[in-house]
Structures are given as C-alpha cells and as structure tokens.
Amino acid sequence: MSRRALFRREALDFQLQHKQWGHVALLQPPSAKVLTWLSVVAVVLVLAFVCFAQYARKETVAGYLVPSAGTAKIFVPQRGFVKQLHVREGEEVEEGQPLLTISTEQISSSGEDVNNTILDTLTLQREFIKRQIGAEDRRGTTERERLNALMEGIAAEISQLEAQTALQMDRLKLTEGFVTSAVQLTAKGAMTDLELKRREQSVLEQRQTLSALRQQTAARRNQLTETRYTLEQLPIVLEDKLQSLRNDLSAVEQRIAEVNGRRAYVIRAPAAGRVATLQATEGQAADPRHLQLEIVPRHASLQAELFFPTRAFGFVHAGQEVRILYDAFPYQKFGTYRGRIVKVSQTILTGNDPVGPISLKEPAYRVIAALERPDIDAYGQKIPLQPQMLLRADVILERRSLLSWLLDPLLSARM
C-alpha cells in the first residue's frame, strides 16, 4: 500500500508557482465596465466638439430707425418764442405749408418796442423816397415839355433868320448894283469919288449884316441840335435818377421786411411729408441750437442706423445679417427681427458729432442696415415702426472652432 501524501496535489502546485502573494482573482462588476465605456465615449465626444464645434464672436450695438431718404430737420434761424404752432405730431403736410410762427419782439428799457420804432423811421423814409420818385416823374414831364417848346421856338427863330438872310442878300445885290453904276458915273465925271466911297461902304455894311445873320442862324441851329440831343437823352437821365431812387426804396423795403421778420416770421415745410419728433410748443423759447421738429418724406422706407465701436468694426462688411431688438417692444415678449447691412461708413464719429437720439460713449462708425419688414407683430396686429425708435442689434463678427480659439493665442505667442 502506497504512502498517502499529507497535502493535496493542488496545494503543492500552488506552493511551487505562487510562493509569496498568491494568485490575483479579478472581481469586476458589469457597472464598472459600463462606466468605463461611457467615459471613453465622453472623452471622444469632447475631443470631437473641440475640433469641429464653432465659436461665434458677437457684438451688440445701439442704433435707431431713420427714413432711407433722410428727414428734414427744422431749426429756427434766430432766438424767439413760439407764437403759434400750425401742425400736430403725425400730421401730413405739403411743401410750403406753415409749421411755426416765431415771435422775436424786443422791448427797450423805456418800455417801447425797438422794432416798432425802427419800422416807423423806415416807413417815413420810404414815403419820402416815393415822393421823390413822383417829383422826378413830374420834373421829367415838365422838362420834356419845356424842351419841345424851346425847339419849336428855335425852329421858328431859324425860319425868321433864314428869311432875313434872303432879304439881306437881295439888299446886298441891290447895293452892289449901285456901286457898279457909281463906278461908271465916276469914270464919266458925273459922280464924285466921295459918293462912290459912301456907296462902297454901304456894300460893306450890307455884307457885314448878312454875315451876322448867317452867324445867328448857325448858332440857333447848334442850339436846336443840342436841345434835340438833350430831349433824346432826357429819358435815360430820368431813368438813371429814378433807378437810383428805386434802389433806395428797395433797400428800405428790404430793411422793413427784415425788421418784420425779426418781429415774427413763419417757418414753412421744405418738403411734403409727415411731422415727426415735434418738440416745439406754443409759448416755448425757440433756440437755433435745438431741434423743433422733423418732417419724414412720404413713401420713405425705414432703415436702421447702427453705431459700431472701433474695437468691433474690423470685421463689419456689407451683406452681414443682424438681429434687431427694438427698445419699445421687449424681445422677451415680441421677439427679434432680422436685417442686413447695406452700407458701411469709413468716417469715425465721436461724442461731439450729432448722431440723433444716440449719445456715443466711445468713437464709432456709422453702419446702415436694411430691415426685413417695416412692422412688428404685437397681440395679433401688425404695428408699423416709427422713425427715431431706439434699438439694439446683435451682429456676429466672426466664427472659429473652439480648437482654433484655444490654440491661436499659443501660436501667436510662438510667432
């Protein structure tokens, strides 16, 4: 009978193979495997999200609505008070229609209206000039009549002188005949030399008289020519005097109109449209620096005027979409509306530049965006948008993957 071993064969084998620590038995529940695989999947998804997901950089800017054709802004040319208001907010007006009547009365320390005093003086000056114009007209008529009468008298005197000249020529011929006869008689001794000399002297006297008559006739003809020229020039001279007086009268009337304009003047609509942003009220002080009202042209579509700060302007371009949020209609209740950039200005604006109802806190650029629709939906109705409505606009400036967003600073630092 064989000798029986004290230990089992399995115990001896284990002792030979695992003398110190023994054999490790892995006890792994199924839930641990599930968690492991879920962790691996999560890591893979995160890596995929970082590599392929995009990050959009957005900028929110302020703006307001303006008509595409612009608005006519009404200011007063000088200080005064709104005496009468001829229009109401939202009223349709025609070109040239009265909008405001501005009073600019000035009272002196003595309690008199300065403009009235100036007007009284100018009115007296105007009446005096008018009387001068009438006197010049009458003087011109009288001078014309005098010159015509003078010409008639000169013409009659010339006729008489011509008749006397013809008679004197006959007398001269007769006297010359007497001298010829006296010469013959003296040669025969029938007449003395003294008588011949007397007859010759008589011929000389007749010739002198004829010459004087011809000289008088020439002088009268010259006088007639000068008188006729003066009569022809009389309308021109008279017109020059009258024109000078009319210029003085026009200057006085212009000053009267200016004084009347300083007392009260009417501002009229420069174009047809709808009254908006009416800030003037009757009795209110009118300052040339303050806007009184605006006129929105008819059939003008609205567009959004946005102001992008310089730090966000680099990626703005025409064609970009914008999401518009109107301040008058909270987006939490009435939603947002879309638009598209159509014009980008390259002129920088500062807080000193007029930009409507917006006050700039930092330098900005003006950007124009077209609206997708001119109204909004509110309580089942379509409410039209109004000019000068304030708004905010969200604009996506750029899109990048998260991986690029994370690595760009490191790559930029290396470069």
What is the reported pLDDT for 371?
92
Specify the pLDDT at position 52.
Answer: 62
Q: What is the pLDDT of residue 97?
A: 92
Alpha-carbon distances, residue 205 vs 33, 195, 213, 218 (angstroms): 168, 15, 12, 20
185-190-196 Cα angle (round to 5): 55
pLDDT at 9: 73
Cα angle 366, 368, 370 (rounded to 5 degrees) comes to 165
Q: Would you kindly state where each structural domain of the chain is located, as residue ranges?
A: 56-73+293-412, 114-264
How does 77-98 read in b/e, with b if 16+ C-beta sit within 10 Å?
A: eeebbbbebbbeeeeebeeeee
**Six token digits for residue 22:** 């023994």
Q: Which residues contact 245 (CB under 8 A, 6 or more apart)?
A: 129, 132, 133, 136
Residue 171, pLDDT score: 85
Q: With H, G, I as helix, E, B as strand and everything else as coil, classify residue 342.
A: strand
Q: What is the Cα–Cα distance from 345 to 317, expressed in whole angstroms?
A: 10
pLDDT at 127: 92
| Predicted pLDDT at 285 | 85
d(CA 54, CA 45): 14
pLDDT along the chain (415 residues), means of 10: 63 62 59 77 75 69 86 84 87 90 69 73 90 90 90 91 88 84 79 80 87 90 91 89 90 84 81 84 86 82 90 86 91 90 90 78 91 88 86 80 60 57
Burial of 242 (0-12, 13-18, 19+ CB in 10 A): middle
- Give the pTM: 0.46
Best CA proximity match to 273, nearest among 258, 253, 293, 256: 293
Complete DSSP assignment for 348-375: EE-TTS--TT---SS-EEEEEEEES-SE
What pLDDT was estimated at residue 1?
45
* Coil/strand/helix, residue 104: coil
Residue 25 confidence (pLDDT): 56
| Topology adopted by domain 114-264 | Helix Hairpins (1.10.287)
pLDDT score for 112: 64
Two tokens at 52? Answer: 């392929």
End-to-end CA distance of the chain: 90
Classify domain 56-73+293-412 by CATH number.
2.40.30.170
Q: Distance between CA 202 and CA 181 in Å, rounded?
A: 14
* Amino acid occupying residue 61: V
| Residue in this structure with the two tokens 């629709």, named with its chain if needed | 373
Whether 60 and 393 have beta carbons less than 8 Å apart is answered as: yes
Q: Which residues contact 161 (CB under 8 A, 6 or more apart)?
A: 213, 216, 217, 220
